Structure 1
Amino acid sequence: MSDPSAASLVSTPRIEAPTESGSPTNPESAQKQQQPRGLLGDAWLDLRRKPLFWISASFIVLFVVMAAFPSLFTSGDAVNGELSHSLVKPSSDAWFGYDQQGRDVFARTIYGARASIVVALLSTIGTLLIGGAMGMIAGYRGGWVDALLSRIADIFFGLPFVLGSIVILTTFNGSGTDNSEWTIMALVIMSLTVLSWPVVMRLMRSSVLATKEADYIVAARALGAGTGRIIFKHLLPNCLAPLLVYGTIMVGSFIGAEATLSFLGIGLKTPVVSWGIMISEAQNLIRVSPYLLFFPAAFLVAAVLSFVMLGETVREALDPKLR
């Protein structure tokens, strides 16, 4: 005869009511599943599914590591060479061969990533800071401030990029000035930033104009929030998406722009090693040694395409209409 008190001590399994999908109800997991994601969360979820994002991001990481730690990829000398190796073709000893002065082309190509990427990144940061600040002020203040800043931007819009760069670099980099490596690099960064900030200013201004009359901005202003809090707490986070996309594409554009200026002889100069300088030095030897032009040009194209493709994928992820 069974003891009812002993039977009461036996634990019976707890059966949960199945949900519509057939799985038992779990409040914690349901809360996590129902928790809404923000714009960046949805964008990241969409980006993870795109192979183009991972390919372009992998190339960008490779180029950044190459620029930061070139000694990990080569032990060759990118500046000094031996004339006995002049125009020696690619081999197992020198994968990319030697240039006219007997310098290792592979080492120069690896070290050339540093100047090109540093100039592009610093120019992009400067352009985003200046253009973003001007666009924020113009869009938020409006009135005569907006009109004045917009007319200043129109003046810079009218300057041809190559011609403006030539004027700036030849004016500040004349004979009698300090022509050190960092000075020339700073001048190139300044020219790229000065001629590119109006585009960022227009993007930020249009985003601020579309956002500043939103209900949460009006409510924050009614609750007594100051200008600084409204700008940095509410406006800026909601206006960064277009700048993030354009900034990524702009890095690739600036890599190409730096190479163009160096090729024309008004940008970086020897002994600085950059892809544009290598292409400029190889143009007269393209029939004799085409590899001198091919390898730096291939790295240049790969770097530019990587940043442009990353920017396009980010733009598609942040734009709900393109998903």
Structure 2
Amino acid sequence: MPDVTNTATAVEEAVTTPPVTAQSPAHKQEKARSLWGDAWRDLCRNPYFAVSSVLICFLLVIAAFPGWFTSASPTTGDLVHHYIGKPELSKIGSEGWLGYDIQGRSVYARLIYGTRASVVVGIAVTVIVTIVGGILGMLAGYFGGITDAILSRITDVFFGIPFLLGAMVVLQSFSSRTIWVVVFALAFLGWTQITRVMRGAVITVKQADYVHAAKALGAGTTRILLRHILPNAMAPVIVVATIALGGYISAEATLSYLGLGLSSPIVSWGVDVSSGVQQIRTSQHILLYPSIMLSITVLAFIMLGEAVRNALDPKLR
């Protein structure tokens, strides 16, 4: 006669024990890994990404809310400070702890408000050149033939124009040089590199099997470009755009230093560097502090671009 107790226990274990299926935990740990998922995991472990992200987030907060960091006006000053404009460490926390310029304006306040112009120019130019260059490169790489030939020759013509020299010529045609005029001048010649990178990436991606399968299933050109080619060709474009962002900030400062970019009353680090050179023998701090801020900002974006490049390039892992 069978043991009723042992039989009941076996039935209970069979009911309560989950069967091993395709959704078991062991299987869940073997999920398909994607390029973007691996890249994000690599970025989270990269100290350069952490440092640059903190710096950039801090700069974005300063650019968005400069009033949180200073109550002084960056455009108006007190001539009382004209002859006592040197920094005084004993006044740390006050508006004049970094000193004053030749017009009695707080150098600290101008540093804070100058962040907005530099960051806005860099981000706006990067967005514009990425969109324009990405579209042109994607069309040239996907369609090929006469479309590729025409767009490539146009790109070569613009690529042959020196970047800063061309921006100077464009800016000379405007009587008033606002932030958006400078953005237009830099974006007018800055899209060529993105176009070349996107074209090469699309030529490689369009040969993939999933693109041929989408065509065989009757997918339209727009769907193939947006759903299959663009997501898989964006990695090198993101890397180039991130690194170039720091270069655009530096280009804006260079143009402002030469007197062809932003000008007073717009507050910019390049404008302050230009005015600081005139007083370099007597008031070096006017030149020093905006130069340091400019260097830190450009370095932060370059570090971010390098971290993204290392994460997205499988050869560097």
Q: How does 1:89-238 map to 2 (within 5 A)?
A: 89-91=86-88, 92=91, 93=94, 94-171=96-173, 173-174=174-175, 179=176, 184-238=178-232
| AA at the equivalent of 2:145 | G
**Structure 2, unpaired ranges of 5+:** none
Q: Partner of 1:304 in structure 2?
A: 298
Q: Partner of 2:25 in structure 1?
A: 29
Q: Partner of 2:66 in structure 1?
A: 70
Question: What TM-score comes out, normalization by structure 1 length?
Answer: 0.89
Q: Helix, strand or coil for the counterpart of 2:32?
A: coil
Q: Helix, strand or coil for the counterpart of 1:34?
A: coil
Q: CA deviation at 1:187?
A: 1.6
| AA at the equivalent of 1:255 | I
Pairs aligned (count): 306
Q: Distance in 1 between matches of 2:46 and 2:229?
A: 30
Q: CA deviation at 1:8?
A: 6.2
| AA at the equivalent of 2:131 | L
In the alignment, which of 33, 54, 78 is matched to residue 50 of structure 2? Answer: 54
Q: Distance in 2 between matches of 1:136 and 1:50?
A: 31
Distance 1:7 1:211, change over 3 A: closer
| AA at the equivalent of 1:163 | L
| AA at the equivalent of 2:153 | R
Q: CA deviation at 1:158?
A: 1.1
In the alignment, which of 241, 244, 250 is matched to residue 247 of structure 1? Answer: 241
Question: What TM-score comes out, normalization by structure 2 length?
Answer: 0.91
In the alignment, which of 256, 260, 267 is matched to residue 261 of structure 2? Answer: 267
4+ residue runs over 6 A deviation = 4-9, 11-14
Distance 1:108 1:236, change over 3 A: same
Q: Helix, strand or coil for the counterpart of 2:142?
A: helix
Q: CA deviation at 1:37?
A: 2.0
Distance 1:290 1:212, change over 3 A: same
Q: Partner of 1:22 in structure 2?
A: none
Distance 1:12 1:140, change over 3 A: closer
1:94-140, CA deviations, whole angstroms, 9 ceiling, x for partnerless residues?
22111000001001001000001101111111100110010011111
1:227-264, CA deviations, whole angstroms, 9 ceiling, x for partnerless residues?
00000000000011011111111111111000000000
Q: CA deviation at 1:5?
A: 6.5
Q: CA deviation at 1:160?
A: 1.0
Q: Helix, strand or coil for the counterpart of 1:307?
A: helix
Q: Distance in 1 between matches of 2:28 and 2:72?
A: 53
Q: Helix, strand or coil for the counterpart of 2:71?
A: coil
Q: CA deviation at 1:47?
A: 1.1
The Cα RMSD (Å) is 2.4
Q: CA deviation at 1:162?
A: 1.8
| AA at the equivalent of 2:207 | E
Q: CA deviation at 1:165?
A: 1.1
Q: Identity percentage over the alignment?
A: 48
